[in-house]
Structure 1
Amino acid sequence: MKAKFLSLAASLLLVGCSQAEEAVAPQAIPVRTVIVATQTVPNVIELPGRVEPVREAEVRARVTGIVQERLYEEGTDVSAGQPLFRIDPRELRASFNQTQAALTRAQATAANARAVVERYRPLVEENAISSQEYDAAIAASREAEANVAQIRAQLESASLQLGYTTVRAPISGRAGRAQVTEGALVSQPEGTLMTRIEQISSVYVSFAQAASEVIEIRRAIASGELALNDDEQMEVRLTMGNGAEYPVLGYIDFLDFSVDEQTGTVELRAEFSNPSRILLPGEFVRAKIYAGTVNNGITISQEAVTLTGDGGTVFVINEEGQAAVRPIMLGDMVDGKWIVESGLEPGDEVIVSNLQKIRPGVPVEVTNTPTGRRQAPTPSATTTGGGR
């Protein structure tokens, strides 16, 4: 009787264990997947940059004097040649008048010397005067003419100096804040800065790229891994400091052929049209430089990627039909897809749905493949595995 009871208890225990194992057997999670394949993708280089005006002019004092008046409104557009400041001209006007009087006196002296030569010419032919006296008259006339030329040059210089008392804009553009006020002494030897004018209807954005990266790009172009556009123009897109995309495309217009010894970088520059003047000189931006295309690139849809501090992760299906985490390095996002720089190979099967339910090691069932390959393990196989 006791033996029968023990046998019955053992049977019930085995049945309970089997039911418990069947109850905890993981269920396959239905998922959709994509098979990784190579394709042509943009080669995107992301760099920080700084906005610079296309042209900038420093307006400096060209004469020494006292500022009388500011003739423009700060922060407004000015045209080339427009008066900006007036410097007290009285001292320079007096100097100009003095030089002009000296020129008049020198011209009178030269005219008298020429008249003497004209009177001496027939006399020397008649031997009424000596040749020495005639030669002296000619020399005096030439000296007087040279004196006239010298004073005329001085008068021209004085006229220029007088003209510089009206400080004019050297280029068209937006004039900045005045650096001097009325009553300030400005100096020609020191070249006192009075204001700045910037042209920002178009702007430059300057970047610095590591020399090693430039060398790698050149190697990739030479090997055929990287193909440039037919027009060889490199498109650039900007993200401004507030995170907004700048709507106008730019193009690289300058690439330095020397490496900065201190930073080990190569300077690049792009030009952007700035009709609305959204971009301001001195502003820091982030640029995406589209330097050709990579022939054997890999992309993955945004929904399949979980972002991390080091890049991102995706779930792939391993040989056992289970979900496995795969870390990847991400590049730029193009048309809603991440460019994958490393971590995935052609033929990898990446899960793109039900990611919130998946954990590493969980069996999955692919629902979007017609052949139903990579089916989840059968319940019997799972039970047998759990009973070992």
Structure 2
Amino acid sequence: MRMERVPFRQIGLATVAIVLAACGQKQSAPPPQIPEVGVVAVQPTAVPVVTELPGRTNAFLVAQVRARVDGIVLRREFIEGSNVKAGERLYKIDPAPYVATLNNARASLAKARANLVTQNALVARYKVLVSASAVSKQDYDNAVAAQGQAEADVDAGKAAVDAAQINLNYTDVISPVTGKVGISQVTPGAYVQASQATLMSTVQQMDPMYVDLNQSSLDGLKLRREIEEGRLKTSGPGAAKVTLILEDGSTYAEQGKLQFTDVTVDQTTGSVTIRTLFPNPNRVLLPGMFVRARIDEGTNDTAFLVPQVGVLHDQKGQASVLIVDKDNKVVSRPVVTARAQGQNWIVNSGLNPGDRVIVQGVEKVHAGATVKPVAAQLPPPPGAASRPSASPASAATAAPTAAAH
């Protein structure tokens, strides 16, 4: 088979053409794309500091109805679960033995009084006779002593009558307070004993109601420090307003007040008890309900609200944010956070007015990278329409977004 010979010059030209074509392809490749990140331009703003804490409801007054004398329960005189007034009779204990004791005490008192009359007359007679030396001084002294003993017997008789009357009164078991009476723990015919302090029922006053909240001692320490350093302005002791969230997520209609904070930290939980007081005219709150309360602690006038997605934490818990500088370079900035407020962190230090904090695309960039900042489009917080405490956060997010345009 005959093969044609290709001139060497043509082969060289073809090779040069291929190389030039490859070079042209490399030169026409697009440059690397600058990542786009969503930023929020933060500004200091007055932030209402709202703390949400768990707790349980407790009756304002709790009175345990117990037997104060021994005896048989003759009858129960209330309907379980009904409202009773202070002093209203709840049970009747058999009074017969106590009536007898009272009558015996009254008889003993009458006897003592009669004896006193005799002793008074004897002393008066001996007083005249002793001056005439008709009786001895010893006889007169004995008469005076007997008179004193008779007076003491009268006093003892009066006390015995009072004690017997008190025990008789205790056969009427009355309600110590006004409130709602619970389940009866005894039935007619049951034998109750004062020595055993038999529990018969419980009466609870439920308007108003206590709500006892649990706050970690660390959070309480941070709050007091912010107040001392002037970052948090309050309306004064006891002026904090409290809103209650019920078990079904609804907001309780009545507003409560802060009563006091316990002075002892629970060693098992590391928390302290905060007691609040709520009106309960419609008896919506029942003792033992689990609730959550939002306490308006005060206002932080120099705080920055930063969406939580833009705040990073290292293994030691140190918070930081990524900021876009004037050259569109990413800078890592450590910050000090106070607490969460809705979907935001309250940042006390580390930021300057106008700083552009990256809140979208954080995972795509690193410190020193060049980025293309755009105004972040953050979703509204869940339940924003029904939760006024979330409005400052959303407002702080929207304002910098508008400014960025």
User: 1:251 aligned to 2:257?
Assistant: yes
Aligned position for 1:90: 96
Deviation at 1:64, TM superposition (A): 0.9
Aligned position for 2:356: 349
User: 1:49 aligned to 2:55?
Assistant: yes
Aligned position for 1:119: 125
Deviation at 1:315, TM superposition (A): 10
What is the alpha-carbon distance in structure 2 between the residues aligned to residue 365 and residue 15 of structure 1?
33
Aligned position for 1:208: 214
Aligned position for 1:284: 290
Aligned partner of 1:199 among 190, 201, 205: 205
The answer to whether the Cα contact below 8 Å between 2:217 and 2:270 also exists between their aligned partners in 1 is yes
What is the alpha-carbon distance in structure 1 between the residues aligned to residue 21 and residue 242 of structure 2?
74
Aligned position for 2:140: 134
What is the alpha-carbon distance in structure 1 between the residues aligned to residue 70 and residue 131 of structure 2?
56
Q: Which amino acid aligns with 1:106?
A: A
Aligned residue runs from structure 1 range 65-84, under 5 A: 65-84=71-90
Aligned position for 2:116: 110
Aligned position for 1:295: 301
What is the alpha-carbon distance in structure 2 between the residues aligned to residue 84 and residue 272 of structure 1?
28
What is the alpha-carbon distance in structure 2 between the residues aligned to residue 371 and residue 138 of structure 1?
107
Q: Which amino acid aligns with 1:69?
A: R
Aligned residue runs from structure 1 range 296-311, under 5 A: 296-299=302-305
What is the alpha-carbon distance in structure 2 between the residues aligned to residue 349 and residue 33 of structure 1?
6
The answer to whether the Cα contact below 8 Å between 1:322 and 1:360 also exists between their aligned partners in 2 is no
Change (3 A) 1:169 1:94: same
Aligned position for 2:181: 175
Q: Which amino acid aligns with 1:155?
A: V
Deviation at 1:15, TM superposition (A): 8.3
Provide, for residues 24-77 of structure 1, a one-character-per-residue CA deviation record: whole Å limited to 9, x for no partner.
997998x98641112121222222112111221111111011111111111111
The answer to whether the Cα contact below 8 Å between 2:39 and 2:373 also exists between their aligned partners in 1 is no
Q: Which amino acid aligns with 2:88?
A: Q
User: 1:186 aligned to 2:192?
Assistant: yes
Change (3 A) 1:274 1:73: same
Aligned position for 1:145: 151
Aligned position for 1:39: 45
Q: Which amino acid aligns with 1:297?
A: A
Q: Which amino acid aligns with 1:127?
A: S
What is the alpha-carbon distance in structure 1 between the residues aligned to residue 340 and residue 403 of structure 2?
32
Deviation at 1:181, TM superposition (A): 1.3
Q: Which amino acid aligns with 1:117?
A: V
Deviation at 1:224, TM superposition (A): 1.7
The answer to whether the Cα contact below 8 Å between 1:41 and 1:339 also exists between their aligned partners in 2 is no
Deviation at 1:258, TM superposition (A): 3.6
User: 1:219 aligned to 2:225?
Assistant: yes
Change (3 A) 1:203 1:341: farther
The answer to whether the Cα contact below 8 Å between 1:48 and 1:284 also exists between their aligned partners in 2 is yes
Secondary structure of the 2:219 match is: helix
Deviation at 1:128, TM superposition (A): 2.6
Percentage identity across aligned positions?
A: 33
Change (3 A) 1:126 1:71: same
Secondary structure of the 1:155 match is: helix
Deviation at 1:209, TM superposition (A): 2.6
What is the alpha-carbon distance in structure 2 between the residues aligned to residue 279 and residue 344 of structure 1?
44
What is the alpha-carbon distance in structure 2 between the residues aligned to residue 78 and residue 119 of structure 1?
61
Aligned residue runs from structure 1 range 18-33, under 5 A: none
Deviation at 1:161, TM superposition (A): 0.2
Count residues with an aligned counterpart. Answer: 361
The answer to whether the Cα contact below 8 Å between 1:206 and 1:270 also exists between their aligned partners in 2 is yes
Deviation at 1:317, TM superposition (A): 6.6
Deviation at 1:331, TM superposition (A): 5.0
What is the alpha-carbon distance in structure 1 between the residues aligned to residue 338 and residue 134 of structure 2?
106
What is the alpha-carbon distance in structure 2 between the residues aligned to residue 39 and residue 358 of structure 1?
24
Q: TM-score, normalised by structure 1?
A: 0.76
Change (3 A) 1:315 1:183: farther
Change (3 A) 1:261 1:182: same
Aligned position for 1:379: none
Unmatched runs of 5 consecutive residues or more in structure 1: 373-388
Secondary structure of the 2:210 match is: strand
Change (3 A) 1:358 1:228: closer
Aligned position for 1:384: none
Aligned residue runs from structure 1 range 322-337, under 5 A: 331=339, 333=341
What is the alpha-carbon distance in structure 2 between the residues aligned to residue 233 and residue 363 of structure 1?
48
Aligned partner of 1:234 among 234, 240, 252: 240
User: 1:58 aligned to 2:52?
Assistant: no
Provide, for residues 65-90 of structure 1, a one-character-per-residue CA deviation record: whole Å limited to 9, x for no partner.
11111111111111110101111111
Provide, for residues 225-260 of structure 1, a one-character-per-residue CA deviation record: whole Å limited to 9, x for no partner.
222225662222222222222222222211233434
Change (3 A) 1:92 1:271: same
Unmatched runs of 5 consecutive residues or more in structure 2: 1-9, 312-316, 376-400
Provide, for residues 302-342 of structure 1, a one-character-per-residue CA deviation record: whole Å limited to 9, x for no partner.
9x999xxx9xxx99878887999x9x9895556xx744459
